[in-house]
Amino acid sequence: MIQNISTRRTFLKGSAAATATLSGGLMIGFAIPAGAQQTPKPTPYVLKPNAFIHIDADGKVAFQIPQEEMGQGVYTSLSQLLADELDVAFDQVTPLPAPPDDMIYGSPQRHRQSTGGSTSIRNFYTALRQVGASGRAMMVEAAARQWGVKPETLRTENGMVIDDAHGGRKLSYGALAPAAAKLDAPQNPTLKTDAQLKYIGKPMHRLDSPSKVNGSAQYGIDVRMDGLKVATLAASPVVGGKVDHVDDSKLKAMPGVQLVVLDDIVAVVATNFWAAKKGLDVVKITWDGGPNGHLDSKTLMAELRATAAKKGVTAAESGDADKALGKPGGPTRLDATYQVPFLAHAPMEPQNFTVHVKKDGTCEMWGGSQVQTTAWRAAATVLNIPPEKVTFHNFMLGGGFGRRLDVDMVVKATRIAQKVDGPVKVIWTREEDMQQDMYRPAYRNVMAATLTKDGMIDGWMHRIAGASVSARMSGKPPKDGLDKGSVDAATDNYYNAPNFRVEYIQAEPRAVNVGFWRGVAPNNTIFAIESLMDELAKKAGRDPVAFRLAHLDKTPRLKNALQIAARNAKWGEKMGPRIGKGVCAQWAFGTYIATICEAEVDTNGEVHVRKVHSVIDAGRIVNPDTLMAQVQGGITFGLTAALWGNITVEKGRVQQANFNNYRLMRINEAPDIQVEIVKSTEAPGGIGEPGCTAGPPSLVNAIAAATGVRLRELPIDRALLAGKSSV
């Protein structure tokens, strides 16, 4: 067995011998049936190798983390779940990234290894508590047998089993591990009560922070090894385009470089990135753009508008929306259309992967992915070999936001590596990363609503037109024409409209590839819903917060969050000229969040976000510090998109290439963001996405309060805001 756990490779070598040689540690595996992951109550499970812990002879715990760390703190929060139930000191837990295996490390719900959609805590809250509790029970049983006492007379604390009835004698987990490993794991371990928890629900220092501060943290872009070559690439700037001609005459004068030309990619390989980039800079490439080479944003947006004007597939319906809505132009009816643009992910770490295609028919690769098994299989598919012949070393991600749910960076790196002798690290330039993204779809929301004579919502219709990310990724059209991922949050009807219909109509752009972007569908649907709610409040002559509260009696958790947010933000106080407050109330990803944004608009149309108050009801919380950081980061991410985010196309080519023309919020522009957490014993909700979806609608509603100008399209139009008087 393993005596010193320092790497995933060492850990896995030990796991193979776990059942045969039990002298040095305890290995535990588990599997939780679907549905068990969203409730904090104990549920039965069947022992299978679905995630592993290893207790070393000195009591240290190595923990294979099934989810990917990309800045959200999941290494820490998942370790809290395990350490609390196992009853070991938190600083004795070492998180290790799990290798690719859907059946072992996939989520209990989907049996797929994937980090995204704010699912890490929701999927693994109960599962990891159970595996920790199972390990604790096995330690107690082993000690009871050694001492000849009943297990129920013993207790545990900080990695020790203690016998208070016999003078407080103790045995360490490390000493007990060999005997405990021979026992059958309990099938339904008893979880700790809330009063017994030491780490869950408490702010804990992040386990990954020290290595990130001292520079020892390793990302895919940091890979180093003997014989490593470095490449950078240029892929066709037009979707579906091909290489037409390559002039490498100047490159031939540069020593130590290799040119790789594929049908849609040109790469230069060298001993370092700078040499590879300088080499690629002198290569003259002529591209054949194909049928998409003439497309531009004007054409794409016109096609989106035309598609949105058609009736879509019904995604949700109650009552009789058509009857309640009546005809357009009615005195109680409000019609509005809201539109959002294509957006890039722009993570701090540009796309990269290191691949070694070996002469023995195997492959080894290093990099970061949100979908470990998909990335692993993608390399195997390119090489036409079984996945078992591919070894994947997964690293932390320098930002994901949904971008690394795709595997194009793996595919391109593997194709290039086929032409290179030895390992090659393929690094995308920032420009390549920006212009070869899988963009958040542009959406158009066609909406209509009517009010009763009492100022309550009667009819509601929401049609969403946009590309289907799932269809692009799977290569299959949405079943029955409905992409459920595009209507998320829109179909929930948490404002309780009695006559309600949501439609979806697919509108695929030809000039860009689309992908999941932080906030996923709700970053569009909630913007539209909350904008319309503000407009309806104005039509009803009601205060925007009071109007929402009147519709939330059947959604009490959201109503409570909104009341607290309004109080914290001093809603209703008199504001200065061109300063306003805007509200967003939402339910998405299993979390209720109410946000109030305060913004000032100067006479040039520039928007200055002053303060944001957000109240979160995410059920049971694992680490409140991480939650607050996620909400603050998400709100900033969403505000950035609302203020500047816009990917445009000309002649089939994306025009934005770097942060000079794809603007991000700077530190001096970031507002003071106050977050309050509502204590709850409900099932855990997700938190990585909701803050992002709250930013744009609360900002747009604040701008309307400050200027009287209703913006129905993002990013904000400064020319439209310039010179408008406050109301």
Final residue before a domain boundary, out of 193, 214, 235: 214
Answer yes or no: do 694 and 569 share one domain. Answer: yes
Counting Cβ atoms within 10 Å, is residue 453 exposed (0-12), middle (13-18) or buried (19+)?
A: exposed
Domain of 161, in residue numbers:
8-214
Query: So what's the pLDDT on residue 16?
Result: 36
Query: Are 207 and 249 contained in the same domain?
Result: no
Residue 560, Cβ neighbours under 10 Å: how many?
Answer: 17
Q: What is the pLDDT at residue 20?
A: 27
Does residue 177 share a domain with residue 128?
Answer: yes
What is the predicted pLDDT for the residue at 26? 59
| Whether 444 and 318 share a structural domain | yes
Give me the pLDDT at residue 309, please: 98
Is 1 part of a structural domain of the chain?
Answer: no
Distance CA 716, CA 573 (A): 25
User: Phi/psi class of residue 306: alpha, beta or left (left: φ > 0; alpha: ψ in -120 to 50)?
Assistant: alpha
> How many domains are there within the chain?
3
Indicate whether 3 belongs to any domain. no
Q: Which of 158, 184, 214 is the last residue of a domain?
A: 214
Domain at 421, CATH number: 3.30.365.10
Which of 214, 235, 268 lies at the terminal end of a domain, its last residue? 214
Pair 178, 324 in one domain: no
Can you give the pLDDT at residue 36? Answer: 34
Indicate whether 306 belongs to any domain.
Answer: yes
Whether residues 280 and 309 share a domain: the answer is no
pLDDT for res 27: 59
Co-location of 628 and 654 in the same domain: yes
**Pairwise CA distance, residues 460 & 463, whole Å:** 10
Which residue from 317, 397, 387 is spatially nearest to 101, judged by alpha carbons? 387
pLDDT of residue 110: 82
**Would you say residue 280 lies in a domain?**
yes
From 585, 576, 580, 641, select the one nearest 609 (Cα to Cα).
580
Residue 415 included in any domain: yes
- The pLDDT of residue 669: 97
Q: Is the separation of the CB atoms in 344 and 656 below 8 Å?
A: yes
Same domain? For 232 and 301 the reply is no
- Mean pLDDT by runs of 10 across the 727 residues of the chain is 35 37 47 37 33 83 92 96 96 91 84 93 93 92 98 98 98 94 86 97 95 94 97 98 98 97 98 98 98 98 98 98 95 97 98 98 97 97 98 96 98 98 98 98 98 97 98 96 97 98 97 96 98 98 98 98 98 96 97 98 97 98 97 98 98 98 97 98 96 98 97 97 63
Predicted local confidence at residue 28, as pLDDT: 60
The answer to whether position 207 is within a domain reads: yes
pTM for the structure as a whole = 0.93
15 and 154 part of one domain: yes
Report how far residue 83's alpha carbon sits from residue 93's, in angstroms, rounded to the nearest whole number: 7
